Amino acid sequence: MEAKAVVAAFSESPMLRETLAVLLEGDCQLQFLSPGTTAPVAALSPDLALLATATPAPLVADLARHWPRLPIVAIDPTQIGGSAAAAAALAGAGIETVGLEPEAIRTAVISLLPARRPDDLLRVIVAEIGETLGADLRYSLTMLRAVPALCTRGGSRDTDSILASILCEQAAVIGAHVEQLERFRTRPRPMQVSEQFVSALCRQLEQADAATTQRGLLCACSLDTAAPAVPGPVALVPLVATLVRAHLRRRSELSVITVRAAHNRVSMRYALRSAAQAHTRSWPLLLASLVLESWSWRISTSVSDGHETLSVFGVGMM
Task: Kindly report, residue by residue over 254-296, the tens digit of the pLDDT.
Answer: 899 999 998 888 999 999 987 665 565 688 988 998 888 778 7
DSSP structure string for 55-114? --HHHHHHHHHH-TT--EEEE-GGGTT--HHHHHHHHHTT-EEE-S-HHHHHHHHHHHPP
Q: pLDDT tens digits for 164-188?
A: 888 888 888 888 888 888 888 888 8
Check residue 318 and give its pLDDT.
37
d(CA 169, CA 167): 6
10 Å CB burial of residue 122 (0-12, 13-18, 19+) is middle
Q: Which residues of the chain fall short of a pLDDT of 50?
A: 1-2, 316-318
Check residue 202 and give its pLDDT.
94
10 Å CB burial of residue 105 (0-12, 13-18, 19+) is buried
d(CA 200, CA 194): 10
d(CA 14, CA 108): 21
- Please state the separation of Cα 12 from the chain's center in Å: 17
Check residue 156 and give its pLDDT.
66
Helix segments in 186-236, DSSP class H: 197-206
- Please state the separation of Cα 258 from the chain's center in Å: 18
Q: pLDDT tens digits for 52-71?
A: 999 988 888 888 777 777 88
Q: What is the dihedral of CA 290, 202, 260, 257, to 10 degrees?
A: -90
